[in-house]
Structure 1
Amino acid sequence: MTLLDVPFADVRGDTLRWTLAPIPCTPLACRTVSLTAGLTVTLSVLGASHQVVVRRHGRPLLHETVACGIAEASPLPAAHAAGGYRLASHVGEMRPEELAAQASRLVERLEGRTDAVVAHFPGDPHAVTALALDKVGERQITWNTWHTYPQTGEIVATTTSYRPEEVTSV
Protein backbone atom coordinates (compact mmCIF):
# COMPACT_ATOMS: atom_id res chain seq x y z
CA MET A 1 0.00 0.00 0.00
CA THR A 2 1.22 3.48 -0.87
CA LEU A 3 0.54 6.40 1.46
CA LEU A 4 0.20 9.39 -0.82
CA ASP A 5 1.63 12.76 0.03
CA VAL A 6 -1.26 14.70 -1.49
CA PRO A 7 -4.50 15.83 0.11
CA PHE A 8 -7.68 13.96 -0.65
CA ALA A 9 -9.83 16.18 -2.87
CA ASP A 10 -13.54 16.36 -2.22
CA VAL A 11 -15.10 14.73 -5.25
CA ARG A 12 -18.10 12.55 -5.89
CA GLY A 13 -18.54 9.43 -7.95
CA ASP A 14 -20.81 11.26 -10.38
CA THR A 15 -17.98 13.65 -11.31
CA LEU A 16 -15.81 10.84 -12.69
CA ARG A 17 -15.21 10.92 -16.42
CA TRP A 18 -14.08 8.02 -18.64
CA THR A 19 -12.06 7.86 -21.83
CA LEU A 20 -10.10 5.39 -23.91
CA ALA A 21 -8.10 8.19 -25.53
CA PRO A 22 -4.42 8.30 -24.55
CA ILE A 23 -4.30 10.97 -21.84
CA PRO A 24 -0.82 11.77 -20.51
CA CYS A 25 -0.94 11.47 -16.72
CA THR A 26 1.64 11.44 -13.98
CA PRO A 27 0.73 8.63 -11.59
CA LEU A 28 0.91 9.03 -7.84
CA ALA A 29 1.42 5.27 -7.53
CA CYS A 30 1.68 2.56 -10.17
CA ARG A 31 2.61 -1.03 -10.83
CA THR A 32 3.46 -2.68 -14.14
CA VAL A 33 2.71 -6.39 -14.45
CA SER A 34 4.34 -8.49 -17.17
CA LEU A 35 2.09 -11.10 -18.77
CA THR A 36 2.63 -13.59 -21.58
CA ALA A 37 3.21 -12.85 -25.27
CA GLY A 38 4.93 -9.53 -24.57
CA LEU A 39 1.89 -8.02 -22.85
CA THR A 40 2.22 -5.67 -19.89
CA VAL A 41 -0.47 -3.94 -17.84
CA THR A 42 0.31 -0.74 -15.97
CA LEU A 43 -2.11 0.02 -13.13
CA SER A 44 -1.86 3.68 -12.07
CA VAL A 45 -3.47 5.71 -9.31
CA LEU A 46 -4.11 9.33 -10.32
CA GLY A 47 -5.46 10.63 -7.03
CA ALA A 48 -9.05 9.53 -6.62
CA SER A 49 -8.80 8.35 -10.23
CA HIS A 50 -7.07 5.65 -12.22
CA GLN A 51 -5.46 4.80 -15.53
CA VAL A 52 -4.74 1.35 -16.97
CA VAL A 53 -2.47 0.97 -19.99
CA VAL A 54 -2.07 -2.34 -21.81
CA ARG A 55 0.99 -2.70 -24.03
CA ARG A 56 2.42 -5.38 -26.29
CA HIS A 57 6.20 -5.23 -26.62
CA GLY A 58 6.08 -1.63 -25.36
CA ARG A 59 3.47 -0.45 -27.88
CA PRO A 60 0.26 0.85 -26.26
CA LEU A 61 -2.84 -1.14 -27.18
CA LEU A 62 -5.33 0.38 -24.73
CA HIS A 63 -5.58 3.36 -22.39
CA GLU A 64 -8.45 3.39 -19.89
CA THR A 65 -8.70 6.52 -17.77
CA VAL A 66 -11.33 7.24 -15.13
CA ALA A 67 -10.74 10.64 -13.59
CA CYS A 68 -12.30 13.97 -12.73
CA GLY A 69 -11.61 17.02 -14.84
CA ILE A 70 -10.99 15.43 -18.24
CA ALA A 71 -12.83 17.82 -20.55
CA GLU A 72 -12.89 15.55 -23.61
CA ALA A 73 -14.09 12.48 -21.67
CA SER A 74 -17.59 11.11 -21.18
CA PRO A 75 -19.38 10.57 -17.88
CA LEU A 76 -18.45 7.16 -16.44
CA PRO A 77 -20.95 4.76 -18.05
CA ALA A 78 -22.67 1.94 -16.18
CA ALA A 79 -21.64 -0.28 -19.11
CA HIS A 80 -19.72 0.01 -22.36
CA ALA A 81 -18.70 -2.60 -24.91
CA ALA A 82 -16.73 -2.18 -28.13
CA GLY A 83 -14.94 -5.01 -29.86
CA GLY A 84 -12.91 -6.85 -27.26
CA TYR A 85 -13.30 -4.14 -24.57
CA ARG A 86 -16.00 -4.30 -21.89
CA LEU A 87 -16.46 -1.98 -18.91
CA ALA A 88 -19.02 -2.15 -16.12
CA SER A 89 -19.20 0.37 -13.29
CA HIS A 90 -21.25 0.69 -10.14
CA VAL A 91 -21.63 3.43 -7.55
CA GLY A 92 -22.50 2.05 -4.13
CA GLU A 93 -23.78 4.38 -1.44
CA MET A 94 -23.44 3.40 2.22
CA ARG A 95 -23.29 4.64 5.77
CA PRO A 96 -19.86 5.75 7.09
CA GLU A 97 -19.30 2.58 9.15
CA GLU A 98 -20.17 0.36 6.16
CA LEU A 99 -17.79 2.28 3.90
CA ALA A 100 -15.04 2.05 6.52
CA ALA A 101 -15.51 -1.72 6.77
CA GLN A 102 -15.56 -2.14 2.97
CA ALA A 103 -12.41 -0.02 2.52
CA SER A 104 -10.59 -1.94 5.27
CA ARG A 105 -11.52 -5.31 3.74
CA LEU A 106 -10.40 -4.11 0.30
CA VAL A 107 -7.00 -2.97 1.58
CA GLU A 108 -6.53 -6.21 3.54
CA ARG A 109 -7.50 -8.36 0.52
CA LEU A 110 -5.07 -6.60 -1.85
CA GLU A 111 -2.18 -6.11 0.57
CA GLY A 112 1.00 -7.76 -0.65
CA ARG A 113 -0.30 -8.64 -4.10
CA THR A 114 2.18 -8.05 -6.91
CA ASP A 115 -0.64 -7.51 -9.43
CA ALA A 116 -2.36 -4.69 -7.55
CA VAL A 117 -1.76 -1.12 -6.44
CA VAL A 118 -3.48 0.45 -3.44
CA ALA A 119 -3.13 4.11 -2.48
CA HIS A 120 -4.29 5.72 0.75
CA PHE A 121 -4.81 9.45 1.19
CA PRO A 122 -3.74 11.29 4.33
CA GLY A 123 -6.46 12.63 6.57
CA ASP A 124 -8.97 9.81 6.13
CA PRO A 125 -7.95 6.15 6.49
CA HIS A 126 -10.85 5.10 4.28
CA ALA A 127 -10.00 7.36 1.32
CA VAL A 128 -8.54 4.70 -0.96
CA THR A 129 -8.00 4.14 -4.66
CA ALA A 130 -7.13 0.56 -5.66
CA LEU A 131 -6.61 -1.41 -8.86
CA ALA A 132 -6.00 -5.13 -9.27
CA LEU A 133 -5.75 -7.66 -12.04
CA ASP A 134 -8.51 -10.20 -11.63
CA LYS A 135 -8.08 -12.80 -14.36
CA VAL A 136 -5.29 -13.15 -16.85
CA GLY A 137 -5.71 -15.68 -19.60
CA GLU A 138 -4.18 -16.24 -22.99
CA ARG A 139 -6.87 -14.20 -24.68
CA GLN A 140 -8.43 -12.00 -22.00
CA ILE A 141 -7.29 -9.68 -19.22
CA THR A 142 -9.71 -8.56 -16.50
CA TRP A 143 -9.10 -5.91 -13.85
CA ASN A 144 -11.08 -4.24 -11.09
CA THR A 145 -10.82 -0.76 -9.62
CA TRP A 146 -12.26 0.84 -6.50
CA HIS A 147 -12.50 4.52 -5.62
CA THR A 148 -13.77 5.32 -2.11
CA TYR A 149 -15.25 8.69 -1.20
CA PRO A 150 -15.80 8.73 2.58
CA GLN A 151 -17.14 12.29 2.55
CA THR A 152 -20.09 11.22 0.35
CA GLY A 153 -20.39 7.60 1.46
CA GLU A 154 -19.63 6.24 -2.02
CA ILE A 155 -17.54 3.45 -3.48
CA VAL A 156 -17.19 3.49 -7.25
CA ALA A 157 -16.18 0.09 -8.60
CA THR A 158 -15.31 -0.86 -12.16
CA THR A 159 -14.67 -4.18 -13.84
CA THR A 160 -12.99 -4.23 -17.24
CA SER A 161 -12.27 -7.13 -19.53
CA TYR A 162 -10.09 -6.74 -22.57
CA ARG A 163 -9.31 -9.15 -25.39
CA PRO A 164 -6.28 -7.67 -27.19
CA GLU A 165 -6.57 -10.05 -30.15
CA GLU A 166 -10.15 -8.97 -30.91
CA VAL A 167 -9.60 -5.24 -30.83
CA THR A 168 -8.82 -3.28 -33.95
CA SER A 169 -9.76 0.04 -32.31
CA VAL A 170 -11.81 0.90 -29.23
Structure 2
Amino acid sequence: MLVTLDTPYVDTNAADLSLALDDVERPALHVLDLALPGGVGLRLRLLGASHQVVLRAPGRALTETVACLPGRPPALPDALHDENAGYRFTATVLRPEGSGLTDRVAALRADLTDDPYALVGVFPGDVDAVTALAVRPDPPAGGLAWRTWHAYPQTNELVLTETVVTLR
Protein backbone atom coordinates (compact mmCIF):
# COMPACT_ATOMS: atom_id res chain seq x y z
CA MET A 1 0.00 0.00 0.00
CA LEU A 2 1.38 3.39 -1.01
CA VAL A 3 0.32 6.44 1.01
CA THR A 4 1.26 10.08 0.69
CA LEU A 5 1.83 11.51 4.14
CA ASP A 6 0.58 14.97 5.04
CA THR A 7 3.23 15.97 7.54
CA PRO A 8 6.59 17.69 7.70
CA TYR A 9 9.61 15.47 7.12
CA VAL A 10 11.20 14.88 10.57
CA ASP A 11 14.21 12.58 10.24
CA THR A 12 17.45 14.20 9.25
CA ASN A 13 19.84 11.32 8.62
CA ALA A 14 20.64 7.72 9.48
CA ALA A 15 22.85 8.73 12.40
CA ASP A 16 19.80 10.17 14.23
CA LEU A 17 17.98 6.81 14.40
CA SER A 18 17.79 4.51 17.38
CA LEU A 19 16.17 1.16 18.12
CA ALA A 20 13.73 0.72 20.99
CA LEU A 21 12.07 -2.56 21.94
CA ASP A 22 8.80 -2.69 23.83
CA ASP A 23 8.37 1.06 23.53
CA VAL A 24 4.92 2.65 23.87
CA GLU A 25 2.89 3.02 20.70
CA ARG A 26 3.84 6.40 19.32
CA PRO A 27 1.49 8.68 17.36
CA ALA A 28 1.25 7.27 13.83
CA LEU A 29 0.73 8.97 10.50
CA HIS A 30 -0.62 5.79 8.93
CA VAL A 31 -1.27 2.24 10.18
CA LEU A 32 -1.71 -1.06 8.38
CA ASP A 33 -3.17 -3.84 10.54
CA LEU A 34 -2.48 -7.38 9.34
CA ALA A 35 -4.17 -10.55 10.59
CA LEU A 36 -1.84 -13.47 9.90
CA PRO A 37 -2.41 -17.22 10.34
CA GLY A 38 -2.17 -18.67 13.84
CA GLY A 39 -3.78 -15.72 15.57
CA VAL A 40 -0.85 -13.42 14.78
CA GLY A 41 -1.60 -9.72 14.56
CA LEU A 42 0.95 -7.34 13.12
CA ARG A 43 0.57 -3.57 13.02
CA LEU A 44 2.83 -1.66 10.62
CA ARG A 45 3.00 1.97 11.74
CA LEU A 46 4.52 4.95 9.92
CA LEU A 47 5.68 7.58 12.36
CA GLY A 48 6.66 11.18 11.72
CA ALA A 49 10.06 9.98 12.88
CA SER A 50 10.26 6.63 11.01
CA HIS A 51 8.52 3.33 11.88
CA GLN A 52 7.07 1.06 14.51
CA VAL A 53 5.98 -2.58 14.27
CA VAL A 54 3.65 -4.03 16.89
CA LEU A 55 3.39 -7.81 17.10
CA ARG A 56 0.72 -9.66 19.06
CA ALA A 57 0.62 -13.45 18.92
CA PRO A 58 -0.36 -16.24 21.30
CA GLY A 59 2.28 -16.10 24.02
CA ARG A 60 4.22 -13.34 22.29
CA ALA A 61 4.12 -9.53 22.25
CA LEU A 62 6.74 -7.18 20.85
CA THR A 63 6.97 -3.55 19.82
CA GLU A 64 9.93 -2.51 17.66
CA THR A 65 10.56 1.18 17.06
CA VAL A 66 13.23 2.53 14.74
CA ALA A 67 13.07 6.30 14.83
CA CYS A 68 14.48 9.58 16.05
CA LEU A 69 13.29 9.22 19.63
CA PRO A 70 13.15 12.20 22.00
CA GLY A 71 15.23 11.71 25.12
CA ARG A 72 17.07 8.71 23.68
CA PRO A 73 20.56 9.03 22.25
CA PRO A 74 20.80 7.96 18.62
CA ALA A 75 22.16 4.43 18.44
CA LEU A 76 21.02 2.11 15.69
CA PRO A 77 22.90 -1.17 16.09
CA ASP A 78 24.24 -3.00 13.04
CA ALA A 79 22.95 -6.18 14.63
CA LEU A 80 21.10 -7.32 17.72
CA HIS A 81 20.62 -11.04 18.33
CA ASP A 82 18.83 -12.29 21.41
CA GLU A 83 18.30 -16.01 20.97
CA ASN A 84 16.61 -16.31 24.39
CA ALA A 85 14.00 -13.75 23.36
CA GLY A 86 13.79 -15.11 19.80
CA TYR A 87 14.65 -11.74 18.26
CA ARG A 88 17.15 -10.92 15.53
CA PHE A 89 17.63 -7.43 14.05
CA THR A 90 20.09 -6.16 11.46
CA ALA A 91 20.57 -2.68 10.02
CA THR A 92 22.64 -1.47 7.09
CA VAL A 93 23.19 2.09 5.88
CA LEU A 94 23.80 2.50 2.14
CA ARG A 95 25.08 5.63 0.42
CA PRO A 96 24.46 4.94 -3.28
CA GLU A 97 26.40 6.85 -5.91
CA GLY A 98 24.87 8.96 -8.65
CA SER A 99 21.17 8.27 -9.14
CA GLY A 100 21.41 5.10 -7.02
CA LEU A 101 19.11 6.32 -4.27
CA THR A 102 16.44 7.50 -6.71
CA ASP A 103 16.68 4.22 -8.63
CA ARG A 104 16.43 2.11 -5.46
CA VAL A 105 13.45 4.08 -4.12
CA ALA A 106 11.65 3.84 -7.48
CA ALA A 107 12.18 0.07 -7.52
CA LEU A 108 11.01 -0.19 -3.91
CA ARG A 109 7.84 1.74 -4.67
CA ALA A 110 7.16 -0.41 -7.74
CA ASP A 111 7.70 -3.64 -5.78
CA LEU A 112 5.65 -2.73 -2.71
CA THR A 113 2.82 -0.45 -3.89
CA ASP A 114 0.35 -3.28 -4.52
CA ASP A 115 1.70 -5.67 -1.87
CA PRO A 116 -1.05 -6.31 0.74
CA TYR A 117 1.66 -6.99 3.35
CA ALA A 118 3.55 -3.74 2.80
CA LEU A 119 3.18 -0.08 3.67
CA VAL A 120 5.10 2.68 1.86
CA GLY A 121 4.82 6.26 3.09
CA VAL A 122 6.02 9.12 0.91
CA PHE A 123 6.84 12.35 2.71
CA PRO A 124 6.01 15.67 1.03
CA GLY A 125 8.64 17.65 -0.80
CA ASP A 126 10.67 14.78 -2.27
CA VAL A 127 9.41 11.57 -3.89
CA ASP A 128 12.55 9.82 -2.62
CA ALA A 129 11.77 10.64 1.04
CA VAL A 130 10.08 7.36 1.98
CA THR A 131 9.67 4.96 4.84
CA ALA A 132 8.57 1.47 3.87
CA LEU A 133 7.76 -1.71 5.80
CA ALA A 134 7.04 -5.16 4.40
CA VAL A 135 6.29 -8.49 5.99
CA ARG A 136 8.22 -11.25 4.27
CA PRO A 137 5.91 -13.57 2.37
CA ASP A 138 8.13 -16.58 3.19
CA PRO A 139 8.68 -16.38 6.95
CA PRO A 140 11.11 -18.73 8.62
CA ALA A 141 9.54 -21.85 10.14
CA GLY A 142 8.00 -20.96 13.49
CA GLY A 143 8.69 -17.29 13.00
CA LEU A 144 7.85 -14.02 11.36
CA ALA A 145 10.07 -11.59 9.46
CA TRP A 146 9.82 -8.04 8.18
CA ARG A 147 12.03 -5.53 6.41
CA THR A 148 12.08 -1.76 6.46
CA TRP A 149 13.60 0.97 4.32
CA HIS A 150 14.21 4.57 5.36
CA ALA A 151 15.36 6.88 2.56
CA TYR A 152 17.03 10.21 3.31
CA PRO A 153 17.52 12.05 0.01
CA GLN A 154 19.04 15.10 1.69
CA THR A 155 21.99 12.97 2.90
CA ASN A 156 21.83 10.32 0.14
CA GLU A 157 21.27 7.51 2.64
CA LEU A 158 19.11 4.41 2.60
CA VAL A 159 18.72 2.51 5.87
CA LEU A 160 17.70 -1.13 5.49
CA THR A 161 16.56 -3.20 8.45
CA GLU A 162 15.50 -6.81 8.76
CA THR A 163 13.87 -8.42 11.77
CA VAL A 164 13.18 -12.09 12.45
CA VAL A 165 11.07 -13.10 15.45
CA THR A 166 10.49 -16.62 16.76
CA LEU A 167 6.84 -17.24 17.55
CA ARG A 168 7.09 -20.66 19.23
User: Could you tell me whether the CA contact under 8 Å between 1:19 and 1:74 is conserved in 2?
Assistant: no
Give matches, 1:94-109, under 5 Å: 94-95=96-97, 97-109=99-111
Distance apart, 1:21 and its partner CA: 2.4
Partner Cα separation in structure 2 for residue 73 and residue 115 of structure 1: 31
Distance apart, 1:94 and its partner CA: 1.9
- What is the root-mean-square deviation in Å for CA atoms of aligned residues? 1.8
User: Alpha carbons of 1:157 and 1:148: their partners in 2 closer, same or farther (altered >3 Å)?
Assistant: same
Matched residue type, 1:85: Y
Specify the SS of the correspondent of 1:28: strand
Alignment partner for residue 136 of structure 1, among 134, 139, 148?
A: 139
TM-score by length of 1: 0.89
Gaps spanning 5+ residues in structure 2: where?
none
Specify the SS of the correspondent of 1:40: strand
Structure 1 partner of 2:161: 158
How many pairs does the alignment contain?
A: 164
Q: Does 1:43 align with 2:59?
A: no
Structure 1 partner of 2:118: 116
User: Could you tell me whether the CA contact under 8 Å between 1:81 and 1:87 is conserved in 2?
Assistant: yes
TM-score by length of 2: 0.90
Partner Cα separation in structure 1 for residue 106 and residue 113 of structure 2: 10
User: Alpha carbons of 1:151 and 1:63: their partners in 2 closer, same or farther (altered >3 Å)?
Assistant: same
Partner Cα separation in structure 1 for residue 37 and residue 73 of structure 2: 31
Distance apart, 1:63 and its partner CA: 0.4
Distance apart, 1:23 and its partner CA: 1.9
Q: Deviations over 1:39-97 (max 9, x none)?
A: 1111111124100011026x870000001024246611000011210000000012351
User: Alpha carbons of 1:94 and 1:65: their partners in 2 closer, same or farther (altered >3 Å)?
Assistant: same
Matched residue type, 1:76: L
Specify the SS of the correspondent of 2:99: helix
Specify the SS of the correspondent of 1:33: strand
